[in-house]
Amino acid sequence: MNNTFKVVFWGVRGSHPVPGKSSIQFGGNTTSVEIRAGKAIIIIDAGTGIIELGKKIMKDYFSNPNRGSALAINILFTHLHHDHTQGLPFFQPLYLGNSIITMFGPLNFGEELKVVLERSMTPPNFPIDFFQTNSLKKIYTVKEDNIIIIDSKDSSAKVYNRYHDSINQDADSIKIEVMNEYSHPANGVLIYKITYKDKIIVFSTDVEGYLFGNSKLINFAKNADLLIHDAQYTKDEYISLPVPKQGFGHSIAEMAIEVARKAEVKNLILTHHDPNRTDGELKKMQSKYRRRFKNLTYAREGLSFQLLD
């Protein structure tokens, strides 16, 4: 059995992509993270980082002589703002008939996930309709009372109601729990906790901290092996006039560190970098905040974090 459990960052920016010499080291693509658990492929968000990830998945699929007939991929959407979906139309497996792409995400102002994704690719937004792409798509709107179980051998997924269903989970399956967080305008976000072989990853982007810490998130992330947390703004940006960023739905590093400490997580990765943040600034911030939380890293494209080999 393949016990791999690792995270690879393909897009780490918020708001919009930032190509150019000031973002070469940390990268300029918007949010997309790959998680491999056993043989399962899980992707969180479809910012522009998913484009290069899609190319790699396709290359690996066609170069594997022992591949099965289907390419199974699971995509978790934290929310449906443009910087978390804009890469989806250019995700190559979406157009492959052999692909089975299972998508999970929030209700968006009363509309089901499939409705919002379809609208994002209808003219004049994009020339190819979402449901005209060749992949087989399974789409689930999820919320806090759901638990997702993914088979680590074939990536097949089932959605359960935690209060009413008998959850069928074996030792090799991946458990994904969901937390609704309402600090991000205007419809909130989903935070995901992914557990495999007793190792835990919590992905918490586009969240804003609270006085005394986000107690709900602290409890949700308790004893996680890895917490990935939004830290888009600096303290000065958060409070400075004439346009303070308080209420914009993003955190500063101090907020993320407070959650990490109180939740007693082992490792903290800060992400969703402001598009104006240069490589030099991110390096300085990483050095500064490592003095406050030892196992802290600023996410960069290509960064890989291994929980199991």
Q: Are 253 and 285 in contact (CB under 8 A)?
A: yes
Q: Judge whether residue 105 has pLDDT over 60.
A: yes
- Residue 67 confidence (pLDDT): 72
Q: Are 158 and 131 in contact (CB under 8 A)?
A: no
pLDDT per residue as tens digits for the range 16-39: 999 999 999 999 999 999 999 999
pLDDT range class, residue 146, cuts 50, 70, 90: very high
Give per-residue burial for 54-89: e unless 16+ CB within 10 Å, then b.
beebbeebeeeeeeeebbbbbbbbbbbbebbbbbbb
Q: Are 181 and 79 in contact (CB under 8 A)?
A: no
pLDDT range class, residue 1, cuts 50, 70, 90: low
pLDDT per residue as tens digits for the range 159-205: 999 999 999 888 899 999 999 999 999 889 999 999 999 999 999 99
- Residue 292 confidence (pLDDT): 97
Neighbours of 28 (CB within 10 A): 20
Q: Which domains, from first to last, does the chain contain?
A: 5-308 (3.60.15.10)
pLDDT range class, residue 64, cuts 50, 70, 90: confident
Q: How far apart are CA 14 and CA 248, in angstroms?
A: 12
Mean predicted lDDT score pLDDT of the chain: 95
Q: Are 225 and 267 in contact (CB under 8 A)?
A: yes
Which amino acid belongs to residue 284? K
DSSP-derived secondary structure letter, 273: B
Percent of the residues in the chain that have a pLDDT greater than 90, as a whole number: 88
Q: Are 144 and 188 in contact (CB under 8 A)?
A: no
- In the predicted model, what is the mean pLDDT of residues 209-217? 93
- In the predicted model, what is the mean pLDDT of residues 46-75? 93
pTM of the model: 0.96
Residues with Cβ within 8 Å of 94's Cβ and at least 6 positions away in sequence, in order, are 54, 88, 101, 133, 135
- In the predicted model, what is the mean pLDDT of residues 140-168? 95
